[in-house]
Every structure is written in C-alpha cells, then in structure tokens.
Chains A and B, each alone.
Chain A
Amino acid sequence: MKEIIVWAEQRNGRLAEVSREIITKAVDLAENLEGTVSAICIGDNCTLLGKELISYGADRIFLVEDSRLVLYQSNVYSRVVADILFERQPDIVLVGGTSIGMDIAPRVAARLRTGLTAHCVDLYIEPIDGKDQLIQVIPGWGGAMMVKIVCPEHRPQMATIRPGVMEKGQPDSSRKGEIIPVIPDFSEDDFGAKTLELVEEESNKGSFEDTDIIISGGFGLYSSGGFALIEELADALHGEVAGTRPAFDHDWIAEDRLIGQSGKNVRPKLFVSIGASGAMHYTTGFMKSKIIVAIDKNPSAPIFDIADIGIVGDLNQIVPCIIEELEKQNNQD
C-alpha cells in the first residue's frame, strides 16, 4: 500500500501550523492513492504532538525522541528523516515550507537521490502513462502562468508547501493511529553544524499572517518616495503593511512582510494592493484573500484580473483621499 509521509515540525514542543495544513493535504492525496498517511516528528517528549497529528488524519507516527534533538540540528535531523524514508520507501513526502523545512527538505532529497519541488500551490494525483504521478503546481515566471512539475522516475516525490497555502482540516480526537518510537542512530560527530540555542526576538509584528486587513505596496510607490502613504493607509484601516519584492529590494519593507512566491502567503479579509502590476509571483501570495482591492495607474495591469475592486489612477492622489474619507467616517462613528 502506498504511503505518504509528512515531516511535522515542532518548535518549543508545539507543532508548526503548516504541519496541520499539510497533513490535511496528505489525507486528501492518500484517498486518491488508496494509501496511508504517516508523519515523522523529531524532538523530545512529543507524544502529545503525535496524538495531535493523528487527530488531523495521520495513520502512523514515527516518533524520534532524544534530549539532544529538542532544537533543529540540520545534519542529524536530515539523516534521521532520510533513514526512515529509506526504510519505508514512501510514494510521496511533504514538508512545510518554513525556514527550517526549506533547510531539511533539499538535503533529504539529495540524500535519497530524488527530486524536490519548492513552494507548491497545488498538489494532486494524475495518472501519466499508466503510473500515478504527483502533479506539483508552482507559479511560473511573471505573467499569469503556472507550471506543473512531476518527478516521474524517482521516488519518493517530494514537495515543500509554504505556510497558509493549504487549508487545515478539522481535528478529530477520537481518531486512532499508531505511534512508533524510532531510536535515532547518530553520534557526537554528526553535529557538524550544532544548534546551541533558540533566541526568540521581540517582534512588533503580532501575528501578521492572521491579520484581517493587509495594505501592500509595490514599485509604484517609487513615485511617492517610499512607503509613507502605505503606512498611513494601514493606520487608518487598522491593518498591517506588506509589499512586493521590488518594495523589499528598496528596503521599504522588512523581509517578513514580503508577499508572494519568495515571501509570505496570506489570506486576510481585505487585501489592498497599491502600485503593483500584479506579476504572478506576487499575486500567488494573496490570491485566497476574501476581498482584493487593486489601485494602479496602468488600466491593463494583470492585478485587475484577480481583484474584486479596481481603481485606475495616480496613487498619490487617490490614497490621501481614501485616508481622508476613512478619518471623516471614523470621526462620525
């Protein structure tokens, strides 16, 4: 029977949210393959995490517990995961695209001599030449193009999926699954890169990914000399500031506010995009927002194809008017 294995990331004894999302996706794929879902969880004292993964649909948990593996250790983690995969020979392996996931997945794929597709936005099974293949959809360059990647001759088929791209299912605490303890095989020599400490930094961003309103700016803000307008509008709307890659390259936003293929995926109630033409590698990051408002000077910009409300014009004139209008109405409230 075919097996799909998810690497479930934990930090400070808690599951990364993306792990729940990809378990849900794995369950969906397993139904198509008539296969089972397993998860690998590495840490110390993580039986509860195993139970949680089962409640989200995992049939089997490989639990690797060791006091030296509380923090992410790139060499040992990748070796332990690769060893389990060697033995299980799964059909598919999914890894959450956190900064740690993006570190372990490529090393494991190289070790297993198989392919890996980064930042998938859709995954499904399709038979090609009589063999079930995992279709891995990624946004292509520029324009509104998508690319289907397959890994036809190597197994497992491996993919990373960014947080927020897949939707997590409902947990069911009555679900049953098997928890299999795995004794990892490693020595002190395997810590060529040794993680000594996790330092949490004070962050004023709150939970950016969970925020209801996001105001995002692009290169069009060059005409207004920077991001001040975006910040003012965000204040007036009680929203958070984000931006495109050119905005990041101009240091108008921090890296953790970069939206799109090489940044964050968000799905707020309201996403306002200002001064960005709407290249696919940007729009893919907020496509699932409830309402999308686009403001750009170019009436044929692709951003208007994916927006609910569009405004064509000079952002330097329009945005101040919106701020004024909001303040007027706020004062009336």
Chain B
Amino acid sequence: MSLRIVVSIKQVPDPEHFDKISLDPHTGSITRTGVPLVTNPLDRHALEEALIIKEQHGGLVYAITMGPPQARKVIEDAFAMGVDKGAILCDQLFAGADTFATARILSAGIRSLGDYDLILCGNDTVDGATGQVPAQLAEFLGVPHVTHVRKIDVLDEKSAAVERSIEGGYLKIEVQFPAVISVLKNINRYRLPTVMGIVEAAGKEIVELDASTCREFGIGNEEMGMKGSPTKVAEVFQSTVKRKVYMIEGEPEDVARKLVRNLRERQSI
C-alpha cells in the first residue's frame, strides 16, 4: 500500500504570547509586534498523524501552507519532522481571505500537487479558531470530510475507520478516500524535529505556488483574498461590558475571610 497524504498547515502567532496581541481600533488590523510565529499546534498533530500513517502503510507526505513569504518556516519545520515534500501558496492577491476564500485557494494548491488519498488538517487554528476551513476545503475539492477526529485506522488503500469526538462521546465513521480529515490534540503526541531532520530539511526545495496556480484551476483574481471573501469586517470596537469591581485588600487571611463573608451575603455559596 502506498498513500499520498497532503497536510494543510498554517503559521500562527504563538499562543503562549497571546497577551501581546492587540487590535488597532483605528485600522482594525491586528498588531502582533514581538509575538513569535509558530506552526499552529493542532497542525503539528496532523503532520504527526500523516507520518505515522506513512510509517505503517508506506507513501508520501506533502505539507502545504498559504501565507506571506515568512510562512516558509512552517514548511521547513515540517521537513525537519520528516515530511517529504512541501509547497507554499503565496501572493498579494491572497491577502485578507476569509475561510471561504482560503479554502478555495488551498483547494487549487492541493489539486496542483497531483493525486492524493488523504488530506489532513488541524481541527482549528489558535488565531481565527473558526474550524471552518477543513469542511469548506472538502466541499471545494468535492470529497467527503470528517472533523474533530481523535483516532484514524487506515483500513486499506481506499478507506479508514475513524473516531470523531462529539459532546459526551464519539461517532464511529468509515470514510472513503480521497477525503479531508481534521484532527484533535488527543490523536497523538507529535515528534520533535531531529538534528538529522533539520540537516535534511535545509536541502529540500519548497514548491512555490501563486495566483496563477489558482487561475489554472478556474479561480479568478476577484475570487481570491479580501475580494473573494463573502464576509467583511464592518467595525472594530471597544467592548463596553464592564462591571463595577469591589477590590478586597489586606493580608491573605483577611482577604480570604472578607471574600467568603461577601459571597455568603450574596448567597453565591
């Protein structure tokens, strides 16, 4: 058996540094000065799952990302984990894409790489956190999708049995390839890059794709980026939800006594 697996990954601000991110109220744009960029954590689990499947069943793992030039870094990091090939979709025309336009651009990028059996993604990203791209990507590719996946058992070259988490349990699903599967954190523990991997990564070439790739697959310039996004940001505003806070001060013992008394008076406890 030999499976061709494409992993769609994204560069995001490091969640450990979220407190440094702010929105500029005048421009509505995100200020991320001083926030390091990393591979979206769930996408690393998707990469790991692809590598596990390849080790068990044979095949090839391709990583693809859409982003500005510095997003090459996430592909280099994927190489260091052991991914075989990588591609970046990078073009000014892609800027400002919502999930709809992003999924459409990714679908063209993935088609340009040739046949595939399985597309893996992280279930959502720590920045947008919508989790909408995997199902939309599947729609644009015309293949089945399963999201919220915590376990994948490849049955044969054409199908896999998966466990899909839902509130208070899971669904057992059998999915036919090609398909898009998005994974959750508990699916695996991802490996760290090895020194060998980093050395090998340095020699690997990243396939560069742009708007012309999309046009080859019938996506016009007006269908990319902000223009091709049905949703728009209308306004950014300061939240007015504030409460009048009563600060309790003093030594820890006093504070604790006052707090417990106060909560009892309010019948909260």
Mark A residues whose CB is within 8 Å of B. Answer: 11, 71-72, 74-75, 78, 98-100, 102-107, 109-111, 113-119, 128, 133, 135, 139-154, 192-201, 203, 213, 237, 245-246, 249, 255-256, 261-262, 269-270, 277, 279-281, 287, 290-294, 304-314, 317-318, 320-322, 324-326, 329
Q: B233 contacts which chain A residues (CB < 8 A)? A: 147-149
Given A293-B259, A313-B255: A141 touches B30 (CB 8 Å cut-off): yes
| Residue of A whose beta carbon sits closest to that of B268 | A270
CB distance from A178 to the nearest CB of B (A): 30
Question: Which of the 9-residue segments B57-65, B73-81, B197-205, B235-243 touches chain A?
Answer: B235-243
Q: B185 contacts which chain A residues (CB < 8 A)? A: 255
- CB distance A279 to B19 under 8 Å? yes
Q: B168 contacts which chain A residues (CB < 8 A)? A: 200-201, 203
- B22 is contacted by which of A110, A142, A237 (Cβ under 8 Å)? A142
5 closest residue pairs by CB, A with B: A115-B230, A192-B144, A321-B256, A118-B130, A115-B231
Q: A103 contacts which chain B residues (CB < 8 A)? A: 135, 145, 147-148
Q: B248 contacts which chain A residues (CB < 8 A)? A: 309-311
Q: A309 contacts which chain B residues (CB < 8 A)? A: 245-248, 259, 262-263
- CB distance B175 to A192 under 8 Å? yes
- CB distance B252 to A318 under 8 Å? yes
B111-138 residues at the A interface, CB under 8 angstroms? 124, 126-136, 138
Q: B99 near A: Cβ within 8 Å?
A: yes
Q: A111 contacts which chain B residues (CB < 8 A)? A: 139
Residue among A98, A107, A114 with the highest chain B CB neighbour number at 10 A: A107
- A102 is contacted by which of B147, B253, B268 (Cβ under 8 Å)? B147
- B237 is contacted by which of A106, A146, A256, A281 (Cβ under 8 Å)? A146
- CB distance A142 to B246 under 8 Å? no
| Residue of B whose beta carbon sits closest to that of A75 | B144
In the assembled complex, the Cα of A293 lies from the Cα of B138 at a distance in Å of: 44
Q: B41 near A: Cβ within 8 Å?
A: yes
- CB distance B167 to A115 under 8 Å? no
- CB distance A237 to B131 under 8 Å? no
B46-85 CB contact bits vs A (8 Å, 1 = yes)?
Answer: 0000000000000000000000000000000000000000
B76-111 residues at the A interface, CB under 8 angstroms? 98-100, 103
- Interface residues of B, dominant DSSP: mixed
Mark B residues whose CB is within 8 Å of A. Answer: 15-16, 18-23, 25, 28, 30, 41, 98-100, 103, 124, 126-136, 138-140, 143-148, 164-176, 179, 184-186, 229-239, 241-249, 252-253, 255-257, 259-260, 262-264, 266, 268-269
- B243 is contacted by which of A11, A201, A305 (Cβ under 8 Å)? A305
- CB distance A269 to B235 under 8 Å? no
Given A107-B136, A193-B175, A307-B245: A145 touches B23 (CB 8 Å cut-off): yes
- CB distance B19 to A140 under 8 Å? no
In the assembled complex, the Cα of A321 lies from the Cα of B179 at a distance in Å of: 54
- CB distance A154 to B230 under 8 Å? yes
In the assembled complex, the Cα of A6 lies from the Cα of B19 at a distance in Å of: 36
- Interface residues of A, dominant DSSP: mixed
Given A74-B144, A192-B175: A145 touches B245 (CB 8 Å cut-off): no
CB distance from B127 to the nearest CB of A (A): 7
Given A116-B99, A116-B132, A147-B235: A304 touches B259 (CB 8 Å cut-off): no
Q: B170 contacts which chain A residues (CB < 8 A)? A: 198-199, 201
Q: B143 contacts which chain A residues (CB < 8 A)? A: 192
- CB distance B136 to A143 under 8 Å? no
CB distance from A263 to the nearest CB of B (A): 9
| Residue of B whose beta carbon sits closest to that of A72 | B171
- B15 is contacted by which of A119, A249, A269 (Cβ under 8 Å)? A249
| Residue of B whose beta carbon sits closest to that of A263 | B129
In the assembled complex, the Cα of A201 lies from the Cα of B244 at a distance in Å of: 42
- CB distance A262 to B245 under 8 Å? no
Q: B179 contacts which chain A residues (CB < 8 A)? A: 192-193
In the assembled complex, the Cα of A154 lies from the Cα of B103 at a distance in Å of: 17
Given A99-B165, A107-B138, A270-B268: A145 touches B25 (CB 8 Å cut-off): yes
Add 17 more A-B contacts to A128-B234, A201-B169 (CB < 8 A).
A107-B138, A115-B98, A115-B229, A115-B230, A142-B22, A145-B238, A148-B234, A149-B234, A198-B166, A199-B169, A203-B168, A261-B129, A293-B259, A311-B247, A312-B247, A317-B252, A329-B260
Q: B20 contacts which chain A residues (CB < 8 A)? A: 142
Residue among B103, B184, B232, B256 with the highest chain A CB neighbour number at 10 A: B256
- CB distance A325 to B256 under 8 Å? yes
- CB distance A107 to B169 under 8 Å? no
